[in-house]
Amino acid sequence: MALKIYESSILKKEGIRYYLARNEKGQKVFCVEGDSGARFQGNWHGNLLIGPLSDVNINHLRRKFAWLKPVPLGLQTSAGTGDRLGCATPGHIAAFNAVDGNIAPIFAQQSMRENARTFRTPRKVMDDAAWGVFQAGWRKPWGADADHLKTLEDVTICAKAGYTFFTVDPFDYVDNEAADDEQETLKEKFQALPWETLNSSPEKFIHTYIGQTLELAGNNLIINEENILRAACKYGAAIAHANNMFNHTRNLISHRPFEMEISVDETESPTTPIEHYLIVNELKRLRVEFVSLAPRFIGRFEKGVDYIGDLQRFERELALHTAIQKLFGDYKISIHSGSDKFSIYPLFAKYTQGKVHLKTAGTSFLEALRVFALTSPSFFRQILQFALQRYEHDRRTYHVSAKSENVPDIHQLKDRELPELLNHFDARQVLHVTYGSVMETFGGELLAKLDREEAVYTAVLKDLFINNLKPFTQ
């Protein structure tokens, strides 16, 4: 039987060989040479079992090889490489190997929203990442991020799937209007906060904070009644929700270690330094253990493009946020919508001193489309024309500023010019946020074509992620 073996996947244990291969039809298959005793799915051909890349088979492999299971990564510099298609992990691994830096990867990373739009489950995301780890021969620790969890039910589903990193998104509990409320309204909201869950009272809170002076990066920030009340009203309920999410997670998986990230990056207004201090101090007081925090920074962190805003002002604000981080010393700053933010990567590397987590998501999907622009231009043209039709609808749940009318007329472009559209601001965002609609319409054909161009996909992912990771290795 003709098999093209992935040499990097070959594992040997107790005289048994395990590996991935392509069969004579070009299909990817799992192979076992010799009877391991495990009940792998597949058909025997003499001493060789050939089977599918199924959940049953990866579960048996996880029991035999510990590195196929995700683990907590601690305070090490880390990067999450979201994979909406389930086949990007080998390309991500190629980039991590190439930068040869001390950056720990999170290969399984998906939000519940992304799962719904790509017709995947948290378990499927985990299994796809593990198969990629197996194929590429990655032996170092890696993590699995259940991203942007909003409910206790979300946590339960992802905990059962084996995730090690839980990103809590308390957006629904943030009061964005608190920044502009009148004093009387503010005081009423303050009294109505969930003090029982916060294990405090209005009186204790006021006594704790008012009058404090924070010495941060050469600046003295004085906490007064107005700024702390606004901070409390904006984030108090969100802190209480994070507390509930942490306790629920701990109760579910008390038998194994896990990590939690608190994300407030999708709020309408930036997180001020005083708000940052309040969030962390209250979480610490409540004994919520978290490894990273994602503030809402000034400027715009839009999908798939570089930072939009005043870089000098951003640096001044980042210096204050990282000064607060250093006050506590035991968590990382997390950069959400972090892919392709090349202008600010050096600033994060400088000010966090390695205590930073980079989170990317849709940029790997865009690189899949780059593959089609290179290898199947007619198919790429179909996808872009469809995405333009869906853009105004699909953009509603994203903070993007692309305009469909700014996308170059595809009918005027030659095939060789198509890959450059993946570097065009407006085209890039249009394609980024319509991924769910694209997958619903073209998913089967898209995945089949991408599978045939696996080597090209790995190469373009490697190039992109080297550029995303390298600034954090300096």
Residues belonging to the active site: 147, 261
What is the rounded distance in angstroms from the CA atom of residue 365 to the CA atom of residue 91?
A: 12
HSE (side-chain half, CA atoms, 13 Å) at 102: 10
In 1-35, which positions are buried (b, 16+ CB within 10 angstroms) versus exposed (e)? eeeeebeebebeeeeeebbbbbeeeeebbbbbbee
Structural Rg of the chain based on CA atoms = 24
Neighbours of 323 (CB within 10 A): 20
Q: Residue 55: helix, strand or coil by DSSP?
A: helix
Contact predicate 164/259, CB 8 Å: yes
What is the rounded distance in angstroms from the CA atom of residue 36 to the CA atom of residue 408?
A: 56
Backbone angles phi, psi at 418, to 5 degrees: -65, -45
Secondary structure letter of residue 196 according to DSSP: T
Contact predicate 240/173, CB 8 Å: yes
**In 3D, which of 296, 302, 260 has the Cα closest to residue 276?**
296
Q: Residue 431: helix, strand or coil by DSSP?
A: helix
Contact predicate 71/142, CB 8 Å: yes
What is the rounded distance in angstroms from the CA atom of residue 282 to the CA atom of residue 246?
A: 13
Q: Where are the beta strands (DSSP E) in 23-103?
A: 28-33, 43-45, 48-51, 78-81
What is the separation, in whole angstroms, between the first and last Cα of the chain? Answer: 48
153 contacts: CB under 8 Å, gap ≥ 6: none
Q: Residue 259: helix, strand or coil by DSSP?
A: strand
What is the rounded distance in angstroms from the CA atom of residue 184 to the CA atom of residue 169?
A: 29
Q: Residue 83: helix, strand or coil by DSSP?
A: coil
Contact predicate 164/155, CB 8 Å: no
Q: Which two tokens stand for residue 335?
A: 């950069």
Q: Which two tokens stand for residue 95?
A: 């980039």
What is the rounded distance in angstroms from the CA atom of residue 74 to the CA atom of residue 378?
A: 45
Q: How distant, in Å, are the alpha carbons of 88, 183, 300 from that of 82?
A: 9, 43, 20
